[in-house]
Structure 1
């Protein structure tokens, strides 16, 4: 695939695909990662996450706040650490992954990553369409019907395409200024929601078991940072190599942690007094019902905008992932293909499926396992000082330095598979007690009961690869001081 012409101006279409960014085109600062992950996490989906901690994990508000802090800050610190590969290699996360798994062996992790992105986009698009439908109802007294549902889906998808299609420079600019706007709106809405809390019920709620706290941390980590861990490098690839890695980790952790802790804690507060939010098939309407009528319009605008901020990031990454899979189209067209699938998924959720959060929780549970397995392998590989050969990354033929054995780097691939199998042994996934889609033979053990199958995957993937993946730094023949400095 030929290298794209560079284009990194705000408001113009980014024509670079997955090819590594040369040093001469690097720009920006670590603070961009703060705004990137703040933007990705100001959506109202954080409220149902908090609601789940109280309604289904039995935690009180203090435990839920602790879980939110550890799960959110911890998982996005990991996202920041993994994004260092993007700063070092200048390419998207799954393109860099070719160096670890081999040109063919990387297909499995890349496919899982793409499915994860499409799933998240469908969830976000569906929720945003509910917000727009509610806004039309409040502003114009229009009742929901199939035509309006499809129209609202198309409006949100068009907004997503406009931002994601333009690409990296536009995304970085919008992340900062739109986050300020929608962040302020969300703070105002949150203030009014706090006024609806039944504080007597909140303060009287007994503490849940310690196992619920551990399970809650796992649930929040899997539902927030773990889902983004394979996308961090996509946004760090334009940053200069000389930026200290610790700044990226700190910016990522605080950028996501601040909005997530506020939203998750608020969701927990609301549910302690009224559990309806945790079981609602339409979380937008459930939250809207808690507000005074005159707050409906600013709330719904904030909800729509926050979801858009998250969705355009996911869609941008999905386009890069599709190209890594072998789709030979310009990056902008990969985004177009992705949003068509997103639209079809939204129609299914809104017009066909009976349950919203059942499939959502099941989706998170299952995909967290292979993604976590990838994290374990990649983390060990990075710690060994992996350097990236830009020409070999883009050469998918047998002549590539990253072809290895038949296109597979067996230690990494086998570690990934072993980690997936191990994680699934402890995993239960289903929409409810009477509708279990999958249950591993060890799901009744302590890690399984507490939802830690994903953590088992990280541990096994890291351990197996550490033992069989070779020793010492993995560098190109012409490693440079600049490359060494990039991970400090």
Structure 2
């Protein structure tokens, strides 16, 4: 590889030969994980009827259309998400959102490592071992080794592995669904009273959106940049959207049914372990093995996107240094969650509370920029490569900050209690959805309708759209 390819922020054309179906399997395997079962049980906790709960899984999961549309920017340019983010935020203005996204990636990676560790513990317990801290430490070590081995995978190998685990885990999920249907307390499920559409339903949808479409949006173009630019945009967007939404709807639906057979599912310190009580032993063993195998390449997505984010903010570290840094993170954070906090669900919800708003504000600005400016005018090399041409795009940065501050005022966190976090905004993720709407609206008015968009459409460096 010559020097120009080493330093280029764009993927060479010869490496852009992906097909839309590749993205379907990649995102499908990334979202069919066992954590979705817990999401289903948490939805029930919003005190909704069965119909409303099912509707939450569908509407919330379809937030993946955000990832689908944003991924088109990668297909059209061959650049990763946070290189493209330089357009609405500026070269230097993009640093803070990039660092926050890096923290988000490492946070989600840690959550997934915790899930993989707890699943490994559940497997050992099902095989007859006694659950204790020593077993948890051994399981953490085993899973971390599996994750770090996955670093050796190429993009093509990852696609193949994700495809295999999509079929395996998906088939097993359907088998478990068939087992759970006769065990489900349908009388209890169908007689649950309807909750308020504003006070219960909307916060539940916001919770699912914060943990799915909004969270994954920061990696939207990281894999679509491998797509052939001549591929149909509609096919690419549909493959990403359905690849993320379909498995989420199915796995969270199973979680809804499972919540009646396993009432403690959402509140358990190890939610994966209580699942085995509702399944035949042999099915539980196979399910856990497949879940562990599926979580490993899923964690690799977080590792790869973290490395790409470092490149986006011009931190070009050696691969060995990056792996050591990532290894330390996925040892320290999961160890804290598993051995000190011992509150898996609480940690997950606190994490979504802070990072969710920051990422929601960023993704909204990126989404509006692409949909109303970039889709028409395209990205230019000068805009993305010349740090002096567009150092700080104040319209994007201001929109991002306003959305985040408004969301913070309507939320209660461990560091700040917002004065407006009352009523329907009390104790839920509805503020994340509010943040998304506010940031996008502000950017639309001051960035799109202002008529002062020369910095956005400058193309003297050559258009990247094919």
**TM surpasses 0.5:** yes
Structure 1's 330 and 80: CA in aligned 2 closer, same or farther, altered over 3 A? farther
Instruction: Give the match for residue 444 of structure 1.
Output: 422
Judged with a 3 Å threshold, the aligned counterparts in structure 2 of structure 1 residues 273 and 25 are, in CA distance, closer, same or farther, namely closer
Is this contact kept in 2: 1:277–1:287, CA < 8 A? Answer: yes
Aligned match of 1:21: 11
TM-score (norm 2): 0.90
Q: Is 2:308 aligned against 1:324?
A: no
Change in Cα spacing, 1:124 to 1:450, as seen in structure 2 (3 Å) is closer
Matched, 1:236 2:230: no
Pair 1:70-2:54 in alignment: no
Q: 1:331 to 1:96 in 2, by over 3 A?
A: farther
Counterpart CA distance in 2 for 1:127 and 1:138 is 16
Note if contact 1:61-1:265 (Cα within 8 Å) is conserved in structure 2: no
CA-to-aligned-CA distance 1:355-397 (integer Å, 9 cap, x gap):
111111111121111111111211221120253344764x5xx
Which SS does the other structure have where 2:183 is aligned?
Answer: coil
Tell me if 1:426 matches 2:414. no
2-structure distance, mates of 1:68, 1:368: 18
Assess, with a 3 A threshold, how the Cα gap between structure 1 residues 202 and 34 changes in structure 2: closer, same or farther: same
Deviation, structure 1 residue 316? 1.5
Structure with higher helix content: 2
- Cα distance 1:94–1:165, how it changes in 2: closer, same or farther (>3 A)? farther
Compute the RMSD of aligned alpha carbons.
Answer: 2.4
Match in the other structure for 2:378: 387
1:177 aligns with 2:164: yes
1:46-85 alignment, distance < 5 Å: 46-55=36-45, 57-73=46-62, 75-85=63-73
User: Which of 466, 469, 486 does residue 444 from structure 2 map onto?
Assistant: 466
Kept after mapping to 2: 8 A contact 1:415/1:464:
yes
Q: Deviations over 1:108-137 (max 9, x none)?
A: 111111111111111111121121122223
Match of 1:157 in 2: 144
Unaligned runs of 5+ in 1: 6-15, 430-435
CA distance, structure 2, for counterparts of residue 17 and residue 32 of structure 1: 27
Give the conservation status (yes or no) of the 8 Å contact 1:215–1:450: yes
Q: Of 392, 403, 423, which residue of structure 2 is paired with 1:408?
A: 392
1:204 is matched with which residue: 183, 191, 197?
191
Do the aligned residues in 1 keep the contact of 2:381 with 2:462 (CA within 8 Å)? no
1:254-265 matches, within 5 Å, as 254-265=242-253
Q: Distance in 2 between matches of 1:414 and 1:475?
A: 21
Alignment of 1:35-46 (within 5 A): 35-46=25-36
The answer to whether the 8 A contact 1:277-1:283 is kept is: yes
Does the Cα contact within 8 Å between 2:43 and 2:256 map onto a contact in 1?
Answer: yes
Q: Tell me the TM-score normalised to structure 1 length.
A: 0.87
Gaps of 5+ in 2: none
Residues 124-165 of structure 1 deviation map (CA, whole Å, 9 limit, x = unaligned): 1112112112222333x3334444433322222222222234
Task: Find the residue that maps to 2:242 and give its secondary structure.
Answer: helix
> CA offset at residue 453 of structure 1?
1.5
Say yes or no: does 1:278 pair with 2:269: no
- Measure, in 1, the Cα distance between the counterparts of 2:103 and 2:194: 37
For residues 334 and 248 of structure 2, the distance between their equivalents in structure 1, rounded to whole angstroms, comes to: 24
Give the paired residue count: 456
What's the offset of the Cα at 1:336? 4.3
CA contact (8 A) 1:418 1:460 kept: yes
Correspondent of 2:343 among 355, 378, 381: 355
